[in-house]
């Protein structure tokens, strides 16, 4: 095993904190909880987040709303936090957009669960100018912690998402069920109307609705149950993607959050490839396909109103241990944005993912002289038996390994494991065709590891919480072709 040490002459801008970490890194460095906070992945300034919500591009800004507990670092009091970005790498935190509110009829608390934001050219009649932002979210009514009803409600903003008003005729869609949630709304150009998807989680059903004005909705069709039904369905999305290696072909993709490929103890995401005629989604797919084989990619949805691109953000966590991760004053992060497309493969059409590009101006070289943990990227090629280790120190390592056509990411020896019994895990994915060597795009950001391989056909996303700084190490069957570290 070759050890690679990294030492950097850090620019002053990197700051005293990092300089301090570097200077004491030769001994066992003192690690703080803030040390786990990613640098170019979104995290809330404080407190809890789960799903990304209302992803939309509008007036030069990408908006990220997110499931947020303004009062604590565990799930509860769900409200919509808010941030904006012009490059999807740096986020400006804005005040909470939509807060938990009392139900006008009963006084019971209504939490603001997951949903969508669209740019409305005043079809709703709620815009004071030519357009405005309209949010459609699940209003989760509960008493004493027990869920009573979930329906869909509307809020609107006439000031670029800075302030929001609840629609006075909420809810806008109520099918009288305790569980009915996560509306995704988008403009369907071919039929010139709004389409909404929402799940009936316990029946493994996606319902499709249509509307001309975002306020009144008609049921069109249902999809399900199908694919993986080992765990309730949440957070549906539907988008059309090009098949990149087949001229002028595109397909519709229905994505859903539910069970993990390793079974329902963990959550994960699956997708169906098919067709959508404006009313019904159809597929010939019989086997489940998964978006990510890691333990920490959930509730992913794509941005509305981005021309020519489908960009997905997922929540980097797993309900199995989400409330216990050892991050301190904040808890939960979003993935690096991923651009989605499709590829025709010998196994059929498959989802392809590509990391949102990080410009060279935000990168600097890794100096391999120093013990190093941090925010960096690698392109590595692993032959059969190839190993790449991250955060490797005396008592810890995180191991990426390729053998017999199977790629694995092993955090069994990444520390600390004691915060939750389900955290310790090893993820695997079989690479079709068992190639002799595979090339990985690896992005590491303090406590997040994201891996894409086989031209983006497979993804593994996992959190790790190393207790000390560590090294990057490779064996003789591994080559690192490209490397960089985050400059800021």
Q: How far is the CB of 49 from ligand FRU (least distance, A)?
A: 9
Rounded Cα–Cα distance for residues 357 and 201 (Å): 34
In the complex, minimum distance from the CB of residue 193 to ligand FRU, in angstroms, rounded to a whole number: 24
CA distance 291 to 342: 12
Q: Minimum Å distance from CB 234 to ligand FRU?
A: 4
The residue assigned the tokens 């975002």 is 214
Q: Compute the 3-state secondary structure of the chain and give helix, strand, coil in percent, each to the nearest 5.
A: 5, 50, 45
Angle at the Cα of 214 (from 66 to 175), degrees rounded to 5?
A: 80
Q: Sign of torsion, CA 450 38 373 364?
A: positive
Least distance from ligand FRU to the Cβ atom of residue 263, Å: 18
Do 274 and 282 meet the contact criterion of CB atoms below 8 Å apart? yes
Catalytic residue among 51, 228, 237, 445, which? 51
Query: 152 or 462, CB closer to ligand FRU?
Result: 152
Report CA-CA distances (Å) from 409 to 96, 400, 455.
Answer: 36, 5, 18
Q: What is the token pair recorded at 98? A: 């939509």
- Minimum distance from residue 211 beta carbon to ligand FRU (Å): 20
Neighbour tally for 247: CB within 10 Å: 7
Is the bond into 369 cis (omega within 30 degrees of 0)?
Answer: no
Residue with smaller CB distance to ligand FRU, 56 or 407? 56
Using CB under 6 A, list all residues that contact ligand FRU: 50-51, 67, 78, 113-114, 138, 181-182, 234-235, 299
Q: Closest separation between CB of residue 179 and ligand FRU, Å?
A: 9
Active site residue 51: yes
Q: Per the structure block, which two tokens stand in for 65? A: 């709303």
Using the structure block, give the residue that is written with the tokens 């990294």. 6
67 or 483, CB closer to ligand FRU?
67
Question: Which CB atom, from 50 or from 446, has the smaller least distance to ligand FRU?
Answer: 50
E strand segments, 298-447 = 298-302, 311-315, 330-331, 338-345, 348-355, 363-364, 375-383, 386-393, 396-403, 406-410, 426-430, 437-445
Q: By C-beta, is 50 or 468 nearer to ligand FRU? A: 50
Q: Which residues are catalytic?
A: 51
């Amino acid at each position: 095993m070759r050890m690679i040490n990294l030492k950097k002459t850090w620019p002053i801008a990197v700051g005293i904190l990092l300089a301090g970490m570097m200077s004491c890194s030769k001994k066992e460095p003192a690690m703080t909880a803030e040390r786990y906070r990613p640098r170019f992945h979104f995290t809330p300034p404080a407190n809890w987040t789960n799903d990304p919500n209302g992803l939309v591009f509008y007036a030069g800004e990408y908006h990220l709303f997110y499931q947020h507990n303004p009062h604590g670092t565990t799930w509860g009091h769900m409200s919509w936090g808010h941030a904006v970005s012009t490059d999807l790498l740096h986020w400006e935190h804005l005040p909470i957009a939509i807060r938990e509110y009392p139900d006008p009829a009963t006084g019971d608390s209504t939490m603001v669960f997951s949903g969508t934001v669209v740019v409305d050219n005043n079809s709703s009649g709620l815009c004071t100018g030519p357009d405005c932002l309209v949010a459609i979210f699940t209003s989760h009514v509960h008493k004493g912690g027990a869920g009573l009803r979930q329906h869909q409600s509307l809020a609107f903003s006439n000031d670029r998402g800075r302030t929001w008003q609840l629609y006075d005729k909420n809810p806008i869609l109520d099918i009288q069920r305790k569980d009915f949630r996560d509306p995704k709304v988008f403009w369907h150009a071919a039929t010139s109307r709004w389409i909404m998807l929402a799940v009936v989680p316990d029946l493994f059903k996606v319902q499709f609705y249509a509307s001309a004005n975002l306020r009144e909705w008609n049921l069109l069709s249902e999809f399900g149950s199908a694919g993986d039904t080992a765990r309730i369905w949440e957070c549906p999305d539907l988008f059309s993607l090009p098949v990149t290696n087949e001229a002028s072909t595109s397909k519709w993709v229905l994505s859903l959050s539910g069970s993990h490929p390793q079974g329902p103890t963990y959550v994960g995401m699956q997708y169906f490839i098919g067709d959508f005629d404006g009313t019904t989604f159809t597929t010939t797919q019989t086997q489940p396909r998964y978006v990510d084989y890691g333990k920490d990619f959930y509730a992913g949805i794509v941005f509305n109103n981005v021309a020519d691109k489908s960009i997905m953000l997922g929540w980097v966590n797993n309900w199995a241990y989400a409330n216990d991760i050892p991050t301190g004053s904040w808890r939960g992060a979003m993935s690096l944005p991923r651009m989605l497309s499709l590829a025709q493969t010998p196994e059929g059409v498959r989802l392809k993912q590509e990391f949102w590009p990080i410009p060279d101006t935000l990168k600097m070289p890794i100096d391999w002289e120093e013990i190093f943990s941090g925010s960096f990227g690698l392109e590595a090629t692993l032959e059969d038996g190839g190993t790449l280790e991250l955060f490797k120190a005396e008592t810890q390592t995180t191991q990426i390994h390729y053998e017999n056509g199977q790629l694995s990411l092993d955090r069994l020896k990444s520390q600390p494991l004691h915060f939750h019994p389900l955290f310790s895990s090893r993820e695997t994915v079989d690479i079709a065709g068992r190639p002799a060597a595979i090339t990985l795009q690896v992005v590491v950001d303090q406590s997040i590891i994201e891996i894409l391989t086989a031209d983006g056909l497979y993804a593994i996303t996992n959190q790790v919480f190393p207790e000390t700084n560590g090294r990057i190490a490779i064996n003789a069957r591994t080559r690192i072709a490209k490397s960089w570290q985050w400059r800021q």
